[in-house]
């Protein structure tokens, strides 16, 4: 087999090939490692590639004998992991130089579950430093490039994970989503990105940015694989006090086609403003017309506090970040400046040289919002707005089953286009932040292309209603027939045989 043979494979296809002895886990793993070796010097999706560990794991799986009934759900499937999710023995840098020498002594819960399910880790992917960014330009180790156009960003902060899946350097990846960091890069890279309900997946082993917002999510080439990976890593975990007391997600939670067609599809007028690229608005309107012809009832709803969600997020998230990042002071672990004059100099020089500009900006902003005299004026009001945003969604889901919206207001933008203006960069997440503030599940689905650049559609649901989102997304994926990413057709010289 070669890359052309497996580019449209689902997890089930890999599993069937293994069961029929058409290929082995070591051959598939080597295929992806070769692909990474070929493409990643220019793409830079990975910060660490664990060639030896991946091949050793594949060999161990081959030596085990599994029957049809106990065949692990991710047996022999290579996976890329965002570099803020801990894998024992591998670097976990969070895209920051302050953690450049840190190797995790333990596995994240999601990683443990993938190991138990038979997955193979290819390595750790690039990201905006401490997940703060929307373009992966803020990585302390250089940016990742969009596989569809190397002059454009892949989105962020999970840009490395999204690019690796789009370029078929890995069939699956994990990312983290605080305000849109799975869905936005999924849209920019033409793949499927799922942010589940807050608490649906354990955050144990996920390095914190904003603890009340962070959530591990999945990045895949199709909805079916998203469902399968989510089923493996979801579920209660006693090591994470914020993890919801729900069992792992199951395909039995999904709907049948006749149930799907009875769903009411909501459209929030606040998500279709003059600031949205007309190409995106037009494509979503075309999809709404298709759904109407398919017999779906489309209803208009209102989310009146949407305009305030972005501002509230950039109070709440930096406030939590400044607290979480206080531990990186050059004392316990991580980078330490050379020859400090005193304790104050140690703290100051370690943090100003170890952290990048965006991280420092958010630490300062968060510290200000939590400072004496400003807590009530900023942070408390931000939390009150968050409650109003959540209430908007609750009222909307009384009128509809799911909501459709853009993922981003624009198509993938060029490097440097927004980095000079932080507010313009923050606006890249304007449609993903409200649902993150509300803690509800949302999925980004590739719904078409414009001049080779992907267009993302966002599907949002009520808390713990991932079954509805995934069922609808799977149905829509089938009727739209949008081909999965194929960067080799855009760059013939990069073909792998």
Indicate if 181 belongs to the active site.
yes
**What is the C-alpha to C-alpha distance for residues 441 and 196, in angstroms, rounded to an integer?**
4
Could you tell me whether strands 453-461 and 402-406 are parallel, antiparallel, or unpaired per DSSP bridges?
antiparallel
Per the residue annotation, which of 82, 124, 418, 468 is the catalytic one? 82
Q: Are 477 and 485 in contact (CB under 8 A)?
A: no
Indicate if 381 belongs to the active site.
no
**What is the C-alpha to C-alpha distance for residues 172 and 46, in angstroms, rounded to an integer?**
14
Query: Who's near 70: CB < 8 A, 6+ residues apart?
Result: none
103 exposed, middle or buried (CB, 10 Å; 0-12, 13-18, 19+)? middle
**What is the C-alpha to C-alpha distance for residues 125 and 119, in angstroms, rounded to an integer?**
16
**What is the C-alpha to C-alpha distance for residues 355 and 319, in angstroms, rounded to an integer?**
17
Rounded to 5 degrees, φ, ψ at 448 are 150, -175
Per the residue annotation, which of 104, 161, 181, 234 is the catalytic one? 181
348 CA to centre of own chain:
32
**What is the C-alpha to C-alpha distance for residues 51 and 58, in angstroms, rounded to an integer?**
11
Q: Are 267 and 306 in contact (CB under 8 A)?
A: no
**What is the C-alpha to C-alpha distance for residues 175 and 157, in angstroms, rounded to an integer?**
8
Number of C-beta neighbours around residue 254 at 10 A: 18
Rounded to 5 degrees, φ, ψ at 107 are -100, 145
Number of C-beta neighbours around residue 8 at 10 A: 12
Indicate if 489 belongs to the active site.
no
Rounded to 5 degrees, φ, ψ at 182 are -100, -45
**What is the C-alpha to C-alpha distance for residues 349 and 328, in angstroms, rounded to an integer?**
12
Q: Are 144 and 189 in contact (CB under 8 A)?
A: no
Report which DSSP code applies to 327: G
Per the residue annotation, which of 96, 104, 139, 157 is the catalytic one? 157
User: Can you tell me whether residue 479 is helix, strand or coil?
Assistant: helix
- Candidates 437, 451, 445; CA nearest to 479 is 445
Sheet containing 172-176, strands listed edge to edge, beginning at the edge strand earlier in sequence: 46-49, 120-125, 78-82, 172-176, 216-220, 192-195, 442-450, 453-461, 402-406, 264-268, 297-301
Report which DSSP code applies to 103: B
Residue 267 β-bridge partners: 300, 404
Active site residues: 82, 157, 181
């Amino acid at each position: 087999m070669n890359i052309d043979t497996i580019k449209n494979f689902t997890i089930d296809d890999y599993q069937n090939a293994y069961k029929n002895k058409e290929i082995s886990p070591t051959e598939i793993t080597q295929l992806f490692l070769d692909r990474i070796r070929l493409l990643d010097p220019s793409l830079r999706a990975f910060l660490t590639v664990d060639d030896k560990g991946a091949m050793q794991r594949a060999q161990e799986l081959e030596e085990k004998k599994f029957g049809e009934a106990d065949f692990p759900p991710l047996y022999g499937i290579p996976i890329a992991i965002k570099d803020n999710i801990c894998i024992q023995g591998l670097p976990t840098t969070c895209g920051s130089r302050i953690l450049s020498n840190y190797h995790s002594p333990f596995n994240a819960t999601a990683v443990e579950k993938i190991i138990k399910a038979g997955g193979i880790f290819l390595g750790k992917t690039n990201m905006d430093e401490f997940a703060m960014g929307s373009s992966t330009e803020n990585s302390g180790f250089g940016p990742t490039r969009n596989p569809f156009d190397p002059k454009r960003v892949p989105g962020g902060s999970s840009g490395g994970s999204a690019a690796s899946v789009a370029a078929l350097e890995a069939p699956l990846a994990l990312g983290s989503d605080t305000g849109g960091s799975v869905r936005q890069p999924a849209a920019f890279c033409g793949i499927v990105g799922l942010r589940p309900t807050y608490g649906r997946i354990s955050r144990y082993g996920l390095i914190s940015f904003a603890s009340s917002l962070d959530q591990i999510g999945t990045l895949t080439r199709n909805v079916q694989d998203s469902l399968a990976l989510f089923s493996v890593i979801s579920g209660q975990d006693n090591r994470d006090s914020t993890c919801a007391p729900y069992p792992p997600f199951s395909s039995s939670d999904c709907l049948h086609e006749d149930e799907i067609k009875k769903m009411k599809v909501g459209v929030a007028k606040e998500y279709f403003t003059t600031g949205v690229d007309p190409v995106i608005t037009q494509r979503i309107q075309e999809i709404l017309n298709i759904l109407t012809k398919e017999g779906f009832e489309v209803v208009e709803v209102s989310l009146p506090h949407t305009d305030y969600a972005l501002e509230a997020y950039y109070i709440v998230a930096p406030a939590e970040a400044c607290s979480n990042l206080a531990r990186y002071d050059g004392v316990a672990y991580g980078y330490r400046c050379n020859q400090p004059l005193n304790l104050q100099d140690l703290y100051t020089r370690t943090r100003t040289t170890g952290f990048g500009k965006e991280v420092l900006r958010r630490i300062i902003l968060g510290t200000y919002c939590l400072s004496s005299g400003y807590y009530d004026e900023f942070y408390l009001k931000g939390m009150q707005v968050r409650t109003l945003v959540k209430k908007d969604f609750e009222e909307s889901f009384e009128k509809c089953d799911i909501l459709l919206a853009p993922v981003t207001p624009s198509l993938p933008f060029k490097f440097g286009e927004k980095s000079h203006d932080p507010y313009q960069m923050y606006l890249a997440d304007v449609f993903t932040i409200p649902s993150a503030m509300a803690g509800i599940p949302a999925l980004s689905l590739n719904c078409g292309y414009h001049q080779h650049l992907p267009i993302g559609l966002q599907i949002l649901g009520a808390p713990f209603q991932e079954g509805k989102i995934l069922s609808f997304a799977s149905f829509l994926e089938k009727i739209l027939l949008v081909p999965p990413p194929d960067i080799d057709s855009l760059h013939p010289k990069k073909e792998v045989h």
